[in-house]
Structure 1
Amino acid sequence: MNAAVATSVFGVFMVVTVALGLLAMRGRSRGSGDGGGLAEWSVGGRSLGTVFIWVLMAGEGYTSFSYLGAAGWGYNYGAPVLYVVAYMSCGYALGYVVGPMLWAYARKHGLVGITDMVAHRFGRPWLGALVAVLATVFLLPYIQLQITGMGVVVSTISYGAISLNQAYFIAFAVTTGFVVVSGLRGSAWVSVLKDILVIATLGFLALYVPIHYFDGYGPFLDRLVTEKSQWLTFPGHGDSGLGQAWFITTSFLNSLTVVIFPTTVAGYLGAKNADVLRRNAMWLPAYNVLLFVPMLLGMAALFVVPGLVGAESNLALFKLVVDSLPAWAVGVIGVAAALSSIVPMAVFMLVIGTMWGRSVLSLVPRWERRQKGVAQSVVVASGVIALVLTYTAPNTLVRLSLISYEGMAQLLPMVLLGLIWRRLTLLGAMSGLVVGVGLVCGFVFTENDPVWGVNAGIVALGANLVVALAVTYAGPRERDDRPDSEVLARDEIGVAEDGADAELSLAPAGTGH
């Protein structure tokens, strides 16, 4: 009976989710696979206002990790999990400057992602294709993790009536169908529903769990300080190696990386003007308050369901819920967690499709005019690959997920430094990228992350930057025929007065994209 009630609630909300996606695109020009159709599908026609951008970017950042991983980390380690709040808040502050800059550059030159920007800046279409392939490698693990996370949620709230393998397929089918039809605009609409449910369910759990299990916050926190004090200091519980140096370097690296993460940039480019992004950057940190709830509940689970090991710890929050709440409430909380997988997974898949449709497959002349259709096909293909590997080789992608953020960070010099520094050469940027990615892979796959107590990605990024600068200064200057009016001045970055659109006057060096 409980399984039927909970799964019925879940099923109704999934139908509503798909309906919202269809409704979001009603009356919109769908195009015929041309650039205009791709822009509407991939960046919402660059017309999303403050509210939609806020819920979309909050939704992209608040994934199934927030329900499962944050609680699991709180359960296993304690204090180190706070790095998530730290880097996201700092990243939003950086986004106040970087977001309008990237938006303006893309708007001026008709670009729809970081692969476009890199190809345009260096005047090499093949470079955009190379970055698209590299970014796909680092994004696929996130799709797989969201499939896994949603699968775990669906199986748990069904009280085991739905197997994990069935739940994985449900996660893939709902998200793939949703994103192919609705694109970024549909994700923004569903983010509104997701945020309402997330705020309501986490707000309820923040009150319910301490009162139900501990008779209030006072007794709970007193018991936590007395019996589990190791969870409240660095490096947390156990021999994790996640000390203060790791926390600082990881927070710093991730706050830099998140502003050029392809999914974040998709949110930037969907805004109707630069001021929307500035207001968004000021309000987004407020959403991070919600992250403290699963972290705290994960530590509450230490007393209620002790002894969880390995992947079981990720179910710490849901074990508190399933055992004490009525089935309909379990279903609603499960829907909130499932939507926290669907929204970011949809954006990840959409970004991969856009990158390939725009930068990789468009190199084939006969496909250049069918970018939207090609991008949608790639969305399905990326979902299928992630699903198949979820079934057949889950450890492969889980291992790759360790280098996702650290690997994506190696694009920082090419993307950001390349846009604000005219002198950076293609050879310098490529040399740094090769060194940075190579070091990240070396550290992670030899299990040397953290290295010397710090995040391995920051070490690789330092080497990346040094090599990029050294090769640029030592090598020949690239020919640049741009007039002085096309050179970017520091004080022109993202400037928009009285709400006017910001413009970034930076043309590509060499042949245009």
Structure 2
Amino acid sequence: MNNGVNVTALAVFVLFFLLVTVMGFMASRWRKADNALHLDEWGLGGRSFGTWVTWFLLGGDLYTAYTFVAVPAAVYATGAAGFFAVPYTIIAYPLVFLFLPRLWSVSRVHGYVTPADFVRGRYGSKALSLVVALTGILATMPYIALQLVGIQAVLDVLGVGGGAGSNWFVKDLPLFIAFGVLAAYTYSSGLRAPALIAFVKDALIYIVIIVAVIYIPMRLGGYGHIFDTAAQKFSTPKSPGSLILAENKQWTYATLALGSALALFMYPHSVTGVLASKSRNTVRRNMAIMPAYSLMLGLLALLGFMAIAAGVGSGVKGFNAQLSVPQLFENMFPDWFTGVAFAAIGIGALVPAAIMSIAAANLFTRNVYKEFIRPDATAADETRVAKLASLLVKVGALAFVLTMDKQAAINLQLLGGLWILQTFVSIVGGLFTRWFHHWALFAGWAAGMVYGTYQAYGIASPATKHFGGSAANIPVIGEIGYIGLTAFVLNLAVAVVLTLVLRALKAPVGTDETDPDDYGAEAGDPKTQNAPVPAAAH
């Protein structure tokens, strides 16, 4: 590994970083709002994004820098098991096609900004709405931190930040600068900033991936040699992975893919991208064309095998697999194109980090601040609080990255998927039926959270004593599977049983402020035309 600064690559990286910084600040004038001091404008881009803007926004939102780094790193370290991300994204889009248009419609009719807003309106329960909001914030925080970890990986390979003897401030100064720029343009432009930058991010990633899957195999002797080298590595007795999935890992693979697919659009930042769409049909069209990103993801995963064939990390004791792709790019590409590839990863961190911080800020403002602290807050008050909350969320993520071991960030992100999956029953169940009792849903959520967190806490790995993985024994079946999905099944079972009990006892149910027609409303319908709109700034 080269410990010097790659000046050419760094110059190209900085050039693209400056470009997206300018775009971030200019975004406040793109589709300029009549009233910027409203969450519909700052937090949802005026709910005005069409098919292509939404496609790039969701792509920039869901396919993060950590995806760019972690998926091929998993393939590099474990082989076939690392490909679970490909089937889970294939499963996810047909699944969410069934319910996201319904969420868009009811949210547009009632002016809902967050999934917790919908839960509050559907079940009339502040407690259930609060835990959905807090779970969303909790699951999002380590996800934002991991975007900064992705930037750090690029900076490490570029040789930026000083050597081992540098003090902590000098070493992390580039990360501070990136954080400051991200915070500034998000505060200024809201969701419009990542929506505009997503065009650059996605274009760069597609260019880099297409070049990589053609150019790198040409340099390495073709795909046959790449797969032969990977097979040789994984055939050694001490190898932790395999080129073909072992029989005892198939349940883990399948349950992780299914559980991740169910969780993907429960994340607040995913919902934010959907609610920013201008119409129900825009959502449906995007769920139909988003699988194009799954093709990219499959090609991206192959970079892990290419890194093996290129000898990345070979002979380096304790080599960090997360650096395998950045190091592969530096070894294989000319310096100028290495800068382009690193810019794709770096910008791929900024876009989702911005959307995640906005989504977390919306949750805090709508479902904690306005609901419990200041019920009489105006639209302008909400927007000001959301802007400040987005800064605090980023500060928390930055502190997390700087003070904790990177393995902790990775493990907590795995927990994030487990946690956010426990909101599925309340949100998706509520989109189709009012049968569930809100206290039964609360109990199911609590059971899933406690069980899943406890099981994950007990897993050790070579890098950590606790939270060292996401798979454990599935009760009754006896197979090893994804803890999040097991917790979800427990959550659903508790919610069903307690609902039957509470309905038999005729326990009071909350007020449902929605109507059946709300779930099919389109942008041109009278219900959506008369929906809550941004009020005059106070």
The 5 Å alignment of 1:280-429 reads 280-303=286-309, 304-305=311-312, 306-307=314-315, 312-362=320-370, 363-365=372-374, 368-369=377-378, 370-394=381-405, 395-429=407-441
Match of 1:456 in 2: 483
SS at match of 2:300: helix
Alpha-carbon displacement from aligned partner over 1:17-39 (angstroms, at most 9, x marks no partner): 12212222216227464xxx211
Match of 1:15 in 2: 18
Alpha carbons 1:494, 1:502 under 8 Å: kept: no
Distance 1:187 1:63 in 2: 12
1:465 aligned to 492, 496, 503, which one?
492
SS at match of 1:454: strand
Distance 2:394 2:289 in 1: 32
SS at match of 1:368: coil
Residue 188 in structure 1 maps to residue 189 in structure 2: no
Going from structure 1 to structure 2, the CA distance change for 1:503 and 1:101 (only over 3 Å counts) comes to: farther
Match of 1:148 in 2: 149
SS at match of 1:199: helix
Give the residue type in structure 2 aligned to 1:488: P
Cα offset, 1:315, TM superposition: 1.2
Count of equivalent residues: 490
Cα offset, 1:482, TM superposition: 6.7
Distance 2:227 2:455 in 1: 38
Cα offset, 1:181, TM superposition: 1.7
The 5 Å alignment of 1:79-228 reads 79-158=80-159, 165-212=172-219, 214-225=220-231, 228=234
Match of 2:283 in 1: 277
Cα offset, 1:151, TM superposition: 1.5
Cα offset, 1:265, TM superposition: 0.6
Going from structure 1 to structure 2, the CA distance change for 1:29 and 1:8 (only over 3 Å counts) comes to: same
Alpha-carbon displacement from aligned partner over 1:67-86 (angstroms, at most 9, x marks no partner): 21112111111111221111
Going from structure 1 to structure 2, the CA distance change for 1:374 and 1:210 (only over 3 Å counts) comes to: same
Alpha-carbon displacement from aligned partner over 1:130-161 (angstroms, at most 9, x marks no partner): 32222211111101111111111123224665
Give the residue type in structure 2 aligned to 1:439: Y
Match of 1:436 in 2: 448
Distance 2:133 2:440 in 1: 19
SS at match of 2:112: coil
Going from structure 1 to structure 2, the CA distance change for 1:412 and 1:502 (only over 3 Å counts) comes to: farther
SS at match of 1:451: strand
1:474 aligned to 485, 493, 501, which one?
501
Give the residue type in structure 2 aligned to 1:389: F
- TM-score (ref. length: structure 2): 0.85
Going from structure 1 to structure 2, the CA distance change for 1:335 and 1:482 (only over 3 Å counts) comes to: closer
Distance 2:452 2:442 in 1: 15
Going from structure 1 to structure 2, the CA distance change for 1:221 and 1:494 (only over 3 Å counts) comes to: farther
Going from structure 1 to structure 2, the CA distance change for 1:431 and 1:187 (only over 3 Å counts) comes to: same
Structure richer in helix, relative to its length: 1
Stretch deviating more after TM superposition (46-55 or 222-231)? 222-231
Going from structure 1 to structure 2, the CA distance change for 1:69 and 1:501 (only over 3 Å counts) comes to: farther
SS at match of 1:402: helix
The 5 Å alignment of 1:18-29 reads 18-26=21-29, 28-29=32-33
Unaligned runs of 5+ in 2: 164-169, 236-240, 460-468, 474-479, 529-538
Going from structure 1 to structure 2, the CA distance change for 1:161 and 1:7 (only over 3 Å counts) comes to: farther
Alpha carbons 2:268, 2:359 under 8 Å: kept: yes
Give the residue type in structure 2 aligned to 1:414: S
Distance 1:161 1:257 in 2: 39
Alpha carbons 1:273, 1:501 under 8 Å: kept: no
Alpha-carbon displacement from aligned partner over 1:285-333 (angstroms, at most 9, x marks no partner): 0111111233212112223222456561111122222124332211111
Match of 2:534 in 1: none
Alpha-carbon displacement from aligned partner over 1:320-363 (angstroms, at most 9, x marks no partner): 22124332211111100101111111111110111111111113
Alpha-carbon displacement from aligned partner over 1:186-235 (angstroms, at most 9, x marks no partner): 211111001111011111111111111x2222333344456646632114
Residue 232 in structure 1 maps to residue 248 in structure 2: no
Going from structure 1 to structure 2, the CA distance change for 1:480 and 1:11 (only over 3 Å counts) comes to: closer
Distance 2:98 2:520 in 1: 7
Distance 2:71 2:316 in 1: 15
Cα offset, 1:254, TM superposition: 1.4
Unaligned runs of 5+ in 1: 505-513
Distance 2:520 2:443 in 1: 29
Distance 2:399 2:231 in 1: 44
User: Over aligned residues, Cα RMSD in angstroms?
Assistant: 2.6
Give the residue type in structure 1 aligned to 2:271: V
Going from structure 1 to structure 2, the CA distance change for 1:68 and 1:311 (only over 3 Å counts) comes to: farther
Cα offset, 1:473, TM superposition: 1.1
Alpha carbons 2:81, 2:253 under 8 Å: kept: yes
Cα offset, 1:61, TM superposition: 1.4
SS at match of 1:203: helix
Cα offset, 1:2, TM superposition: 6.0
Match of 2:266 in 1: 260
Alpha carbons 1:152, 1:167 under 8 Å: kept: no
Match of 1:510 in 2: none
Distance 2:433 2:153 in 1: 46
Stretch deviating more after TM superposition (453-462 or 358-367)? 358-367
Distance 1:52 1:117 in 2: 24
Stretch deviating more after TM superposition (320-329 or 72-81)? 320-329
Match of 2:254 in 1: 248
Distance 2:512 2:366 in 1: 25
Alpha carbons 1:153, 1:337 under 8 Å: kept: yes
SS at match of 1:234: coil
Q: Percent identity?
A: 26
Alpha-carbon displacement from aligned partner over 1:419-469 (angstroms, at most 9, x marks no partner): 322121111110101101001111100118422211111111111111111
- TM-score (ref. length: structure 1): 0.89
Alpha carbons 2:437, 2:509 under 8 Å: kept: no
Alpha carbons 1:210, 1:220 under 8 Å: kept: yes
